[in-house]
């Protein structure tokens, strides 16, 4: 009896491709994404994400140059300590290569502010890489300029900086004092201080990550709700209501348009509720970002609604829809930055993430809430979301032909 039941279950699973994907492929995909972010197999450390970091050397000492060299050798970091000189500016000479100049603190602040790097290191004048013996005077503290939207990156950079600063010193002191020297004898490098870099309204201590969380999770659940909402088409197919509606004066294009508008408005409401809750409960500054929020929400909801209709028109049953929705939305959300910042991912994974709806939507919200960029800076995100909407709606319309006259 039990054998018969097992055989039925096994046969069902063998014939259900979606269930197979859910059971086998999705967990592996998730594991792989997280492994790439938090445990790069090539790093050897198994704990450090890859981070791009800008470095400003205001000390110009042998120690500071050693430290930068040390950081450049770290395979977990992509270090940038110079910038191309703009046309017309004076060239310091760069050995015949494209003219470049060393980064200034202002450059680094701008790079972090604009999201080009998640963190920057400033070695101020008077900085020393830690003083040998206990009791010795410590130099000026190194500074990490942090993007508050990416606290993991700034924390990791601070840790790497400490380690890199200590390494040459420890080697030198070990040679002088022998291999049995202790940290107390060697002393620790001068501690770093982490400064958030954000727009003028973010200079207080409010939790900036709330906006990121609201955007990331909001966008992910927008996809879930739109795919669920699109599934109403399948419910109507099962109850006969869809057939009945198509027997009236309503055409398929009108029907889909009605559903799309409904899902778009529903999505706008969902995101608005989430951000409003963030404002009320966690101090998210929604009021000062209303125009950017409104336009990003409208475009994101429109694209997500189109995505929901694609799934609904693609699937034959509600059960299949839920399976495929999970299969697509969870990896999209992981790769697209809904679960953790894309800046933590290796560059190639970041590029793959750009193929997802989430990445563009989350990037847009990031520009609005953290970078306080002008609305015109949202044009790339809005253009992509609009293009996705058109593509999704076109696909949904084509797939919906199965419900038209056969």
Partner 1 sequence: MSESMNAGAPVLAVRGAHKTFGKLKALEDATLELFEGERLALLGPNGAGKTTLLRSVTGRVRLDRGAIELFGHEEPPEARRRAIGVVPQEIAIYPLLTARENLEAFARLHGVSAGDLAGRVEWALRWTGLADRAKSLVRDFSGGMKRRLNIACGMLHRPRIVLLDEPTVGVDPQSRERIYEMLEEFRAGGATLLLTTHHLEEAEGRCDRIAILDHGRLIASGTLLELIEQTVGAARDVVLTLERPAAGGLDGFQVSADGRKLTSRVRDVGAELPALIARAQDAACAIEDVEVRRHGLHEVFLHLTGRELRE
CB of 305 to partner 1, least distance (A): 21
If the CB atoms of residues 203 and 244 are measured against partner 1, the closer one turns out to be 244
Which helix or strand (DSSP H or E) is residue 143 part of? strand 143-146
CB of 271 to partner 1, least distance (A): 24
CB 226 within 8 A of CB 305: yes
246 sits near partner 1 (criterion: CB under 8 A): yes
Residue span binding partner 1 (CB under 8 A) among the ranges 197-205, 243-251, 263-271, 370-378: 243-251
Strands 143-146 and 193-196: parallel
CB of 219 to partner 1, least distance (A): 28
CB of 16 to partner 1, least distance (A): 23
- Among 228, 294, 216, residue whose Cα is nearest residue 263: 228
Q: State the number of binding residues for partner 1 (CB under 8 A).
A: 13
CB of 241 to partner 1, least distance (A): 5
If the CB atoms of residues 32 and 239 are measured against partner 1, the closer one turns out to be 239
If the CB atoms of residues 246 and 395 are measured against partner 1, the closer one turns out to be 246
244 sits near partner 1 (criterion: CB under 8 A): yes
If the CB atoms of residues 260 and 365 are measured against partner 1, the closer one turns out to be 260
Cα–Cα distance measured from residue 307 to residue 386, given in angstroms and rounded to the nearest whole number:
12
Binding residues for partner 1 restricted to 136-175, rule: CB under 8 A? none
Cα–Cα distance measured from residue 266 to residue 268, given in angstroms and rounded to the nearest whole number:
5
- Among 212, 153, 206, residue whose Cα is nearest residue 339: 212
State the SS3 of 52-89.
EEEEEECCCCHHHHHHHHHHHHCCCEEEECEEECCCCC
If the CB atoms of residues 249 and 376 are measured against partner 1, the closer one turns out to be 249
CB of 228 to partner 1, least distance (A): 16
If the CB atoms of residues 98 and 406 are measured against partner 1, the closer one turns out to be 406
CB of 202 to partner 1, least distance (A): 44
CB of 402 to partner 1, least distance (A): 12
- What are the CA-CA distances from residue 348 to residues 154, 178, 264 (Å)? 21, 43, 32
- Among 60, 66, 55, residue whose Cα is nearest residue 119: 55
Strands 51-57 and 119-123: parallel
CB of 242 to partner 1, least distance (A): 8
Binding string, 210-239, against partner 1, x = CB under 8 A? Answer: -----------------------------x
Tokens of 236: 């109507």
Chosen residue from 188, 194, 245, 395 binding partner 1 by CB under 8 A = 245
| DSSP-assigned beta bridge partners for residue 54 | 80, 120
State the SS3 of 88-129.
CCCCCCCCCCCCEEECCHHHHHHHHHCCCCCEEEEECCCECC
Cα–Cα distance measured from residue 172 to residue 190, given in angstroms and rounded to the nearest whole number:
17
CB 37 within 8 A of CB 349: yes
| Residue 183 CB burial class (10 angstroms; 0-12, 13-18, ≥19) | exposed
Binding string, 65-104, against partner 1, x = CB under 8 A? Answer: ----------------------------------------
- What are the CA-CA distances from residue 39 to residues 5, 49, 94, 320 (Å)? 41, 7, 37, 33
- Residue 206, SS3 per DSSP: coil
CB of 11 to partner 1, least distance (A): 25
If the CB atoms of residues 94 and 243 are measured against partner 1, the closer one turns out to be 243
Chosen residue from 23, 172, 243, 351 binding partner 1 by CB under 8 A = 243
Residue span binding partner 1 (CB under 8 A) among the ranges 86-94, 242-250, 290-298, 376-384: 242-250
Tokens of 27: 């967990």
Binding string, 247-286, against partner 1, x = CB under 8 A? Answer: xxxx------------------------------------
Residue span binding partner 1 (CB under 8 A) among the ranges 72-80, 104-112, 241-249, 284-292: 241-249
Q: State the residues that interact with partner 1 by CB under 8 A.
A: 239-241, 243-250, 405-406
């Amino acid at each position: 009896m039990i054998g018969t039941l097992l055989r039925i279950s096994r046969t069902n699973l063998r014939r259900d491709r979606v269930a197979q994907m859910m059971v086998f492929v999705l967990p592996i995909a998730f594991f792989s994404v997280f492994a790439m972010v938090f445990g790069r197999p090539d790093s050897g450390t198994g704990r450090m994400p890859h981070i791009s970091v800008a470095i400003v050397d205001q000390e110009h000492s042998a120690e500071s140059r050693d430290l930068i060299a040390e950081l450049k050798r770290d395979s977990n970091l992509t270090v940038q300590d110079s910038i191309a000189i703009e046309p017309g500016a004076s060239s310091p000479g760069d050995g015949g290569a494209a003219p470049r100049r060393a980064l200034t603190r202002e450059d680094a602040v701008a790079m972090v502010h604009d999201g080009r790097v998640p963190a920057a290191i400033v070695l101020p004048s008077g900085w020393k890489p830690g003083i040998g013996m206990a009791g010795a005077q410590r130099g000026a503290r190194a500074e990490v300029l942090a993007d508050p939207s990416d606290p993991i990156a700034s924390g990791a950079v601070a840790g790497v900086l400490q380690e890199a600063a200590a390494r040459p010193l420890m080697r030198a002191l070990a040679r002088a004092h022998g291999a049995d020297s202790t940290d107390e004898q060697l002393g620790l490098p001068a501690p770093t201080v982490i400064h958030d870099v954000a727009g003028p309204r973010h200079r207080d201590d409010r939790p900036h990550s709330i906006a990121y969380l609201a955007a990331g999770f909001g966008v992910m659940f927008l996809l879930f709700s739109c795919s669920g909402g699109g599934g109403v088409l399948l419910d109507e197919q099962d109850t006969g209501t869809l057939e009945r509606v198509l027997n009236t004066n309503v055409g398929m294009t009108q029907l889909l348009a009605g559903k799309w508008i409904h899902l778009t408005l529903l999505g706008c409401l969902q995101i608005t509720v989430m951000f409003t809750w963030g404002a009320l409960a966690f101090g998210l500054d929604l009021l000062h970002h209303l125009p950017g929020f409104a336009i990003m929400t409208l475009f994101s909801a429109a694209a997500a609604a189109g995505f929901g209709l694609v799934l609904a028109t693609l699937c034959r049953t509600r059960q299949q829809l839920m399976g495929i929705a999970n299969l697509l939305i969870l990896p999209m959300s992981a790769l697209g930055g809904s679960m953790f910042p894309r800046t933590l991912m290796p560059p190639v994974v970041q590029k793959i993430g750009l193929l997802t709806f989430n990445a563009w939507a989350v990037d847009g919200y990031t520009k609005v809430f953290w970078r306080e960029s002008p609305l015109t800076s949202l044009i790339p995100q809005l253009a992509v979301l609009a293009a996705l909407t058109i593509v999704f709606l076109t696909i949904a319309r084509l797939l919906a032909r199965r419900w038209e006259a056969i």
